[in-house]
């Protein structure tokens, strides 16, 4: 007589399937919670870079990518150690790669043009300026308000042509030098000026002999506060001991350890509305 066949447990495959499904759901929920936690930014800071001689630009990009930090670049067509200017063809692929990584861009004027004085009046403003780049480098001359707007817009248009990304309707005057009349003229053609916070001046423009990288790092980690706009450059000609990337990486790590998170000016409460236009 044949032995009775063992009966298969009823419903086991269904239970196993449900168990596997539950694991998948839990994993998805955990990932979503982690992603949301990453998106929550209770102590934002806004790291910005102005252009410079660009020698350190590749190293800066590596550090930002390694730490998944997005920044806002203010660009002018400045003289560079290599290539045909910071917004020239040589550096165009570098800017395009930064756009693909999610960074934001804004104008720093085309010829890195410093405001020197107001001329005219509120009805017909003009400005004495002195560019530190371009065909009239080092010369003092006068721009009308419309011409100054063209100077700001030129850099923004070049950034868009290179990156395919619309720059923010913001600008930073070289040296942060402005006047109420200059700001009003720029605003009339759609540009809002952005400076930096007192503690956000990271000191890379200072002489190495007077401000070592170690001292600048200590100061920034001590003084930076929630909401600060931080300023650095893609290379300073006069600094013998380059600030970037020597200070940049430990600064990012140190600020993150203190609970800070990095955002671009697109998300800054004072500029988000203008940036959304």
7/124: higher pLDDT: 124
Distance CA 164, CA 142 (A): 32
Query: What is the enclosing helix (H) or strand (E) of 118?
Result: strand 113-120
Alpha helix locations (H) across 40-175? 57-66, 92-100, 145-163
| Mean per-residue pLDDT, 123-127 | 96
- Proportion of the chain in helix, strand, coil states, percent, rounded to 5: 40, 15, 45
| Mean per-residue pLDDT, 171-197 | 98
Q: What is the pTM of this model?
A: 0.86
Question: Which pLDDT belongs to residue 275?
Answer: 78
Q: Are 126 and 119 in contact, with CB atoms under 8 Å apart?
A: yes
Distance CA 179, CA 191 (A): 14
186 has a pLDDT exceeding 70: yes
The DSSP symbol for 201 reads B
Q: Are 174 and 132 in contact, with CB atoms under 8 Å apart?
A: yes
Question: Which pLDDT belongs to residue 10?
Answer: 43
| Mean per-residue pLDDT, 58-63 | 98
């Amino acid at each position: 007589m044949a032995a009775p066949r063992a009966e298969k447990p009823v419903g086991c495959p269904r239970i196993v399937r449900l168990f596997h499904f539950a694991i998948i759901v839990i994993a998805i929920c955990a990932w979503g919670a982690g992603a949301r936690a990453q998106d929550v930014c209770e102590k934002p800071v806004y790291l910005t870079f102005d252009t410079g001689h660009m020698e350190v630009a590749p190293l800066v990009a590596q550090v930002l990518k390694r730490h998944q930090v997005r920044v806002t670049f203010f660009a002018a067509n400045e003289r560079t150690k290599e290539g045909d200017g910071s917004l020239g063809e040589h550096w165009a692929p570098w800017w395009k790669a930064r756009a693909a990584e999610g960074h934001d861009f804004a104008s720093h004027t085309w010829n890195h043009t410093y405001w020197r004085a107001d001329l005219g009046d509120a009805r017909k403003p003009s400005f004495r300026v002195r560019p530190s780049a371009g065909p009239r480098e080092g010369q003092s001359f006068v721009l009308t308000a419309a011409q100054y707007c063209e100077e700001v817009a030129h850099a923004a248009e070049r950034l868009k042509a290179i990156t395919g990304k619309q720059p923010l309707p913001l600008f930073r005057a070289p040296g942060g030098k402005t006047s109420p009349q200059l700001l009003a003229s720029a605003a009339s053609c759609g540009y809002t000026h952005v400076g930096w916070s007192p503690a956000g001046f990271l000191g890379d423009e200072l002489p190495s002999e007077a401000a070592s990288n170690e001292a600048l790092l200590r100061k920034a980690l001590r003084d930076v506060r929630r909401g600060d706009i931080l300023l650095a450059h893609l290379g300073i000609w006069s600094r013998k001991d380059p600030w970037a990337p020597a200070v940049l990486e430990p600064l990012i790590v140190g600020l993150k350890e203190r609970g800070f998170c990095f955002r671009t000016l697109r998300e800054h409460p004072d500029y988000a509305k203008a940036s959304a236009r």
